[in-house]
Amino acid sequence: MSTSRLFDRICVLVTVAAMLLTILFMNGQALGLELVTDADSEAYSDNTYFTDNDQTADWDTSSATVITLEGDHAAIDGSNAYEYDGNVVIAGSGRFGSGRGR
């Protein structure tokens, strides 16, 4: 019986400590804690990861490979994809249709 009471007291203390830490972190700035942020991240606008090709919504789907799933099979119209053993295999990468961004 005494072990159960000790365990109950430890659980209550851990719960109270967790609640106090939560309140502290939620109100940290009001209590004088300094917020740590990456000041450069919002000002960074360089597009080294994206090309002009990535940033346009214009594309030509006339040469696209169309894969239509039909039950256990797939209908594939185009190149660079095929069905094998019940799976669709994409064998080649696509290319932006309008010719921009090359």
Q: How far apart are CA 69 and CA 67, in angstroms?
A: 6
What is the pLDDT of the chain when averaged over all its residues?
79
Tens of pLDDT, residue by residue over 25-43, are 887 777 777 777 766 666 6
Q: Are strands 73-77 and 66-70 parallel, antiparallel or unpaired?
A: antiparallel
pTM value is 0.37
Tens of pLDDT, residue by residue over 67-91, are 999 888 899 998 889 998 889 999 8
